[in-house]
Amino acid sequence: MRILVTGGAGFLGSHLCDYLLAKKHEVICIDNLITGNIENISHLSGNQNFHFIKHDVTEYIFIPGALDAILHFASPASPVDYLEYPIQTLKVGSLGSHKALGLAREKKARFLLASTSEVYGDPQIHPQTEDYWGNVNPIGPRGVYDEAKRFAEALTMAYNRTHGIETRIVRIFNTYGPRMRLNDGRVVPNFISQALEGKPLTVYGDGSQTRSFCYYTDLIEGIYRLLLSNVDTPVNLGNPVEYTIREFAERIIQATGSASQIVHQKLPVDDPKVRRPDIGKARKLLGWEPSVALEEGLRQTIEYFSGRR
């Protein structure tokens, strides 16, 4: 297939490009490099099946020739990023999704939207199932990301129903691994970088809030299965094994052999108290579930960060 990946120089986007190329597809990567990193795809330079275009997807997207699929991953994805770029985050979720869906319609290409567990907000049901509509503060600081993705999902389904576009929606839960930025602001790079430097690990609130962590290789495999499936409604992808943030901090200290202590700071506004996917739909319809244990995933991620200090 000939596949376009928007946001292809980001953490997940670049790994997706690698995976698709390994499957012998031709890959066109678009990224404006606001939060993406050209180093993530530099190893693909010279690959005749890989093409990079520096472009903002909120502007008109021109791709000559046929396209079989568009995977829309363009967006700031960490609180640090979408709080620094709130308007750009809203624009890429709305205008960027509109441009990418318009291209999919023109090319008669299958469209896969990278959505997020953040559409559930601070959830009132646990674990989160795809039929839960969420509990989101639309005017809070996190709302720029949450509502951008919720709008993108609504727009994707509108194109599906109105124009007959083949669409897929993946709701991505916390994912980690190599190519995350040290200053990403998400819990995994935060804790690992603090532990490697012997600094205190910053836990917000009392640390009783929960998260689940999926290694990137598992997630990418699930995304590919979803792309090839006939499932046109949202699908959760993530690891259903749940940890409190304090437990996770202790795991990082143990895995790095650090002497770091844990310190507590004020909980950010609208920070979710729980976050864990119900992956029953992915198991049933995609035959997918994560296989990489936390210990192994952390070992590889710590090794990556250790080499970049």
* Residues acting as catalytic residues: 145
Hey, what are 71's tokens? Answer: 């995977």
Q: How many residues does the chain have?
A: 309
For residue 155, the Cα-to-chain-centroid distance in whole angstroms is 19
DSSP state of 95: I
- Rounded-to-integer distance, Cα 209 and Cα 29, Å: 36
- Rounded-to-integer distance, Cα 124 and Cα 194, Å: 32
- Rounded-to-integer distance, Cα 36 and Cα 3, Å: 19
Q: φ and ψ at 69, to 5 degrees?
A: -155, 150
* 11 three-state secondary structure: helix
Instruction: Find out whether 97 and 155 touch, Cβ atoms under 8 Å.
Output: yes
Q: How many helices (H) and strands (E) does the chain have?
A: 10, 13
Instruction: Find out whether 47 and 21 touch, Cβ atoms under 8 Å.
Output: yes
Angle between helix 294-306 and 187-196 (nearest 10): 60
* 243 three-state secondary structure: strand
Instruction: Find out whether 233 and 171 touch, Cβ atoms under 8 Å.
Output: no
Q: Specify the pairing of strand 210-212 against strand 242-244.
A: antiparallel
